[in-house]
Amino acid sequence: MAAQTPTADPTEGRAPQGLARWVVYQRERFPVLAHGALILAFSAGAVCYSALLRARAHGTPPSAATASFVVAFASCFLFFFQLRVSDELKDFRDDARHRPYRPVPRRLVTLRELRGLGLLAALVQLGLALWLSPRLLLPLALAWAFVALMTKEFWLHAWLADRPVTVLWTHMLVIPLIDLYATSCDWLAAGAGRDVGAGIAWFLAASFGNGMVVEIGRKLRAPHDEERGVRTYTAVWGVRRAVAAWLGVLAATATFATVAAAHVGAAWLVAGLLGTLAVVAVVLGARLVSVPSPGAGRRLETLAGVWTIALYLGVGVVPFVARR
């Protein structure tokens, strides 16, 4: 999930105090409304897809408990906040050196405060899991463990520093783990593991690919927009290769999502939605390569967000609603 470009404080030279600090922090690093829309599609799509698989196995209309949607959304929202906290912790030294304008280096909030909020979020997730079904504790623990490993850079920081592709795919493994938890709020809570079959595997593969779509998409920039010390994919690979890699990941993700959709009878819907957006991506990507004007990379970042919403609505939410 992409963070917004830092904006000036509305405090006219005075540092914000109390809760006002967190209003500024969320605007710059974790915009609640923008992230909330993506996470709502992400979590609802996961629950709906699981419900569709269960319904298909039994030949019945799909249904899912309201509590499953609530727990999935709240837990996923907190997972993505924890990922932001993880980034703040592991990137603190680089941010202090190259991006002192960010909230933590400029001491708007502290790492200690963020760590405390991350732990509080975990307690809320734990309470929600116990409320819905204790069976959820295993996938919850798996996601937590991976976030902890990411925070420590798998204890391989120096080795990973010059391997952007390895950093990309290893860090994006957390997305299918979060989506596994979100789907588990339906099928595992219902004790219906045998009903979901291979469809879940394709859905998680699509989630993995979509995480890469978003991650690469938010680090595609025109040369004018590059920042010293910030390792974007366009800076590391060059604009042409970075855009080509992004389009390749889009194609792979569309394939995974279409196969997942075929397991619930929605292949044509997903292929149509993502195929249309892929054409737009090719046009915008070609424009970034041929005319890399300032701000051109932001269009691809925005499209990655639209792609995310379309994928999860198409695979899960739309067919779920249509068949009720």
pTM of the model: 0.91
Q: Is the pLDDT of residue 14 over 90?
A: no
Domain segments of the chain as ranges: 21-196, 198-324
Q: Is the pLDDT of residue 216 over 90?
A: yes
Q: How confident is the model at residue 13 (pLDDT cuts 50, 70, 90)?
A: low
- Percent of the chain past pLDDT 70, that is, above it, reads 96
Q: Is the pLDDT of residue 11 over 50?
A: no
pLDDT of residue 24: 94
CATH number of 21-196: 1.10.357.140
Assigned CATH class of 198-324: mainly alpha
* Tens digits of residue pLDDT in 229-250: 788 899 999 999 999 999 999 9
Q: Which of 8-17, 81-90, 312-321 has the lowest mean pLDDT?
A: 8-17
Which of 173, 23, 206 shows the shortest CA–CA distance to 103?
23
Q: How confident is the model at residue 278 (pLDDT cuts 50, 70, 90)?
A: very high
d(CA 27, CA 146): 26
Q: Is the pLDDT of residue 3 over 70?
A: no
